[in-house]
Structure 1
Amino acid sequence: MDIQRSIRAVADAADAPSGIVDWASVAEAAKGTCEPGALRLSEAERAGFRDDVRAARDGLREASGVEFDLPGSVEVQSRHHWIDANVDTFRRVMRPLEAQGPGAFPGFARSVNTGTMAVTLGFLARNVLGQYDPLLLADAESHEHGLYFVRPNIRRVAVELNVDYPRFRRWIAFHEVAHAAEFGAAPWLPGYLEARTEGGIDALMEGRLDRDAFAELNVAMTAVEGYAELLMDRAFDDEYADLRAKLDARRGGGDPLTRLFKRLLGFGMKRRQYERGADFFEAVVDRRDLATASLVWEEAANLPTDEELDDPGRWIRRVA
């Protein structure tokens, strides 16, 4: 780590010409909080990533019955590469707020905002294993979705969990490609998520909280995470009970500071999304089948309501 690099970047943000966040300084400061990690892949490991992604695509196509393409960009990244990709994402999401300007004490406010974003991205960069990025709010419709694997984190966590690295890497590939299957099955989903995100941000710009927009966004993401868990469990070409147990324990673990960061960054809500969504779809499959569960992606009206997530029979009666 290079904390001085981070401090200099945050301090320099005060002198940026405009904006409520200096995104170049965010990237620089976030990279100062974490080592990039090794990214020298042997030819065997490079081929392993390719094989994992293709096996996940084929297995998930067969399990779901959905024909979908892999994202146009599949990258094995260092932590610093991941930071750069996600700075672009946050910049897009926060563009409407940026238009408002920094308000009073612009230099100080910009430094605080920049530091907050840098700490957030630095922490995530040390913990994220893989990411499916639908590139929401991108400027051009031609933008391809992205699939990222943070190689140094996958290797580190495999050691921490005492699991075979190639097998663990393959498990992560199945999880992230499962999200590609969902978005392939539901071409309306990016627009749905974008509308709720923009609605929530527009309300914040007006000084109010649009609870409906955030509630609908939370329910949709619960369905996204839960269905991915269901699908990958049925598609993964190996035993997975030990991986599931160890990853579940990791989601709630860590030292006191790590647990605090997870709580502040909403990791508890993310874990609840995994668990609640998986419970919902498991119940639907137990009562009907996977084809019934997949009806959720036919149209936005088929998404479960918050109440239906806890009462799958109610959703079945409405949709199926």
Structure 2
Amino acid sequence: MDAELVDWDLAVTTARRLVRPGPPVARSEADTVVAELRRLAAEAEGHVQAYTRLEPAGPPTPIAVVDRPEWVRSNVAGLRVVSEPLLDKLADRDRGKLSTAVGRRVTGVQLGTALAYLAGKVLGQYEVFLPPDETDTPGGTGTPGETGTAGHLGRPGRLSLVAPNIAHAEQALAVNPHDFRLWVCLHEQTHRIQFTAVPWLRTHLEGEIASFIEATDLDPDVLAERVRSAVSALRGAVLDRGPNAPSIVEALQTPAQRQVLDRLQALMTLLEGHADQVMDAVGPKVVPTVAEIRSRFDNRRGGGSPIDRFVRRLLGLDLKLLQYRQGGAFVRAVVAEAGVDAFNLVWESPETLPTRSELVDPGAWMQRVLGSRPSISA
């Protein structure tokens, strides 16, 4: 493409310049962390499969232990893949004027700044979308960092563990390092198995993203109005108007996009809640200090300075915390009442996924999908 809306290289450069270094560790200690995370990730896969009764299909997807700069690079590459259909849509308009108005470099700096913040927070992720030129490389054991990616739309993704963030979190929480690392791996392996054991899930997510892009209104006047709404949302975040105040992300959406966004949020809430429930269900059997870890980790999730809370709302991360709580409550309620096998009917098809209203009323989902509505509370 001739004139993309984002200077992707500048986004990477900006993020790498702004991201804070990880905790200082000796080379030998870094190598030990990388090696143990890889081993625990493999161990966690077996625990998650045994509990969820979900069997991955096809060849195993790669596991990478990365540092913060590599996490930034990989996520910029993934964002570029996901945004490509939108840029194709923009090709039908005068992209030169649009790119000038938005400012490719400004957008690159903004994206890089946001990623620099996130790069110090994320413990791990399953990267669903990666560019086609990414190849499997076993990587090395630098400052804890290891590269190696595979896949693109429709092909296997990659499980990434951000070693310096995990090391920093376990130090800040003062928890057992081995137990904490395995606990994190249980969560991330659940995401990996969700996408590798449910054949239609990736395609469904791609379809929803395509619908979201299709609903994007590129009329300059409409875009200007959305920006004004976003500024209003940002002002509300500054004033801390409460949990119901819209985030800047929500304020930028058109009505049609919000319908798609509702479905996407419901799906992501289910995926995050399922991973949270699995790590706590498996944890007591294999993580001796799981209760202590969960208590301290939840306190850390909800804490932070006023600036940190502001940035979380600005980036929509408060929604992520809600997904953990709401999705976890849904999964726990269904599993407690009907069992793991009955819950797994959620993976039968897109039609058996819970809606946003069902996520706060698990009995309604069970009535619709299982044919029963027990008396429970989420």
Normalising by structure 2, report the TM-score: 0.75
Task: Specify the alignment match of 1:229 in structure 2.
Answer: 276
Q: 1:86 to 1:41 in 2, by over 3 A?
A: farther
Task: Give the counterpart of 1:183 among 182, 195, 201.
Answer: 195
Matches within 5 A, 1:212-291: 212-236=259-283, 237-239=286-288, 240-291=290-341
Matches within 5 A, 1:135-146: 135=129, 143-146=155-158
**Match in the other structure for 2:239:** none
**Aligned AA for 1:79?**
R
SS in structure 2 of the partner of residue 204 of structure 1: coil
Indicate the residue corresponding to 1:308 in structure 2. Answer: 358
The question of 1:127 aligning with 2:174 is answered no
Deviations 1:227-267 (CA, angstroms, capped at 9, x unpaired): 11112222231241221222222222112211111111111
Match of 1:163 in 2: 175
Work out the CA distance in 1 between the residues paired with 2:199 and 2:334: 23
Give the structure 2 partner of residue 98 of structure 1.
Answer: 87
Give the SS at the match of 2:161: strand
**How far apart in 1 are the matches of 2:350 and 2:28?**
41
Q: 1:24-39, aligned counterparts within 5 Å?
A: 24-37=9-22
| 1:21 is the counterpart of 2:6 | yes
Cα distance in 2 for partners of 1:108, 1:288 equals 51
CA contact (8 A) 1:78 1:152 kept: yes
Kindly indicate whether residue 313 of structure 2 is the aligned counterpart of residue 294 of structure 1: no
Change (3 A) 1:72 1:105: closer
* C-alpha spacing 1:142/1:272, structure 2 compared with 1 (3 Å): closer
Deviations 1:111-140 (A, max 9, x none): 221121011111100111111112278685
Deviates more, 1:205-214 or 1:274-283: 205-214
Letter in 2 for 1:129: L
Report SS of the residue matched to 1:94: helix
Report the CA distance shift for 1:259/1:140 in structure 2 as closer, same or farther (over 3 A). Answer: closer
Q: Structure 2 regions of 5+ residues with no counterpart?
A: 133-150, 220-253, 371-378
Give aligned pairs, total. 305
Asked if the contact 2:33–2:163 (Cα under 8 Å) also holds between the matched residues in 1, the reply is no
SS in structure 2 opposite 1:149? Answer: strand
Q: Report SS of the residue matched to 1:75.
A: strand
> Does the 8 Å CA contact 2:34/2:163 hold for their aligned counterparts?
no
The 2-side partners of 1:102 and 1:281 are apart by 47
- Unaligned runs of 5+ residues in structure 1 are 1-15
Letter in 1 for 2:61: G
CA deviations on 1:39-70 (whole Å, 9 max, x unpaired) are: 84555434322321121111111101122268
Alignment partners' CA distance in 2, 1:108 and 1:230: 41
Q: Does 1:111 align with 2:105?
A: yes
Equivalent residue runs for 1:2-13 within 5 Å: none
| 1:154 and 2:166 matched | yes
Residue 275 of structure 1 deviates from its aligned partner by: 0.6
CA contact (8 A) 2:48 2:278 kept: yes
Alignment partners' CA distance in 2, 1:141 and 1:19: 20
Q: Tell me which moved more, 205-214 or 109-118.
A: 205-214
Q: How far apart are residue 305 of structure 1 and its match?
A: 1.3
Sort the Cα spacing of 1:102 and 1:275 in 2 relative to 1 into closer, same or farther, 3 A.
Answer: farther
> Residues 19 and 160 from structure 1, CA distance in 2 versus in 1: closer, same or farther, beyond 3 angstroms?
same
- SS of the equivalent of 2:69 reads helix
Q: Secondary structure at the match of 1:18?
A: coil
| 1:152-174 deviations in Å (ceiling 9; x for gaps) | 11111111111122221111111
Q: Answer yes or no: is the 8 Å Cα contact 1:56–1:235 preserved in 2.
A: no
Q: Is the 8 A contact 1:31 1:80 kept in 2?
A: yes
2:339 counterpart letter in structure 1: D
Aligned partners of 1:71 and 1:145 also within 8 Å: no
Q: Which moved more, 1:269-278 or 1:39-48?
A: 39-48
Structure 2: distance between partners of 1:222 and 1:137: 25
TM-score when normalising by structure 1: 0.88
Residues 167 and 282 (structure 1), Cα distance of their counterparts in 2 relative to 1, 3 Å cut: same
In 1, Cα distance between equivalents of 2:120 and 2:111:
14
1:80 aligns with 2:69: yes
Partner Cα distance (1:231, 1:318) in 2: 24
Distance, in Å, in 1 between the alignment partners of 2:101 and 2:2 is: 9
- Greater shift, 192-201 or 107-116, is seen at 107-116
2:178 maps to amino acid? P
Shift of residue 142, structure 1, vs aligned partner: 6.8
CA contact (8 A) 2:3 2:99 kept: no
